[in-house]
Structure 1
Amino acid sequence: MTSRFTELVVDCRDPEGLAAFWCAVLDFEVIDRSEGKVEIGSWVPTVEEVRARQMPPTVVFVRVPEGRAVKNRLHLDVSPVDGSTEDEVTRLIGLGATRADVGQGPDRTWTVMSDPEGNEFCVLRTLAP
């Protein structure tokens, strides 16, 4: 018996706003929404497709009443696919992200950022040819 990684759930204050930000970052689209919840992904796989092979997980943003009080123990890493890492950092700042200092030091090859609700993520090396 095995399981598949199907969703990453992010607790947040504004599911619609955070989903819009991450759709722009990842070139995803909204695939489901309900009261206080928005799910985004690259497509909606069927249950059969998920059972047959590893499918890309979706990201679900769920409204929660409490404010964030501690550092996230999980974060996303993204890699630009059609430009430089610095160009992608500039684009993400334009979307509402900010640079974050988590003690990573100046000699790192990645950039730590925060999304509009303060969730940290990293921009890694470019995958562009």
Structure 2
Amino acid sequence: MIPRHITIDAGNPYELAKFWSTVTGWPLGDGDEPGDDEALVVAPAPVPCLLFVAVPETKSVKNRVHLDWAPTERTRDEEVERLLALGATIHEDHRQPEGPGWVTLHDPEGNEFCVERSDAERSGQAGLEG
């Protein structure tokens, strides 16, 4: 069995999908438009797509599942700054002075996600010590 989608409840599926499309660089689904009850961010195979589905209630408690991301083209700290500029907010900062750690962010609707160090940072490659 292969996961097809990761489904995320949303107040405004299209707007949240646009945010995540910008974050990931993955395109929106064909035909998705503002006001739709669902919006898809199409991931490259074999990664599951992100499906945003309209729900009437707002988020009220911590997510029981969240996504952990590791940047591929930037350091963790550069990626956090990019995401903040796109509309994310810091929830908890677990970075340590010697480099390890992660940052837990909220997307524009308050869903938690984490940004970890890149593979290059974890392997100690020069120029990416974040």
TM-score with structure 1 setting the length: 0.80
Match of 2:64 in 1: 73
1:21 correspondence with 2:12: no
Q: 1:80 to 1:106 in 2, by over 3 A?
A: closer
Alpha carbons 2:94, 2:101 under 8 Å: kept: no
Gaps of 5+ in 1: 46-54
1:38 correspondence with 2:39: yes
TM-score with structure 2 setting the length: 0.80
Q: 1:87 to 1:105 in 2, by over 3 A?
A: closer
Distance 1:122 1:58 in 2: 18
Alignment of 1:105-116 (within 5 A): 107=96, 109-116=101-108
Alpha carbons 1:82, 1:127 under 8 Å: kept: no
- The match for 1:126 among 107, 118, 123 is 118
SS, match of residue 119 in structure 2:
coil
1:60 correspondence with 2:61: no
- The match for 2:4 among 3, 6, 10 is 6
Gaps of 5+ in 2: 126-130
RMSD: 1.9
Distance 2:6 2:22 in 1: 17
Q: 1:28 to 1:96 in 2, by over 3 A?
A: same
Alpha carbons 2:59, 2:109 under 8 Å: kept: no
Q: Percent identity?
A: 37
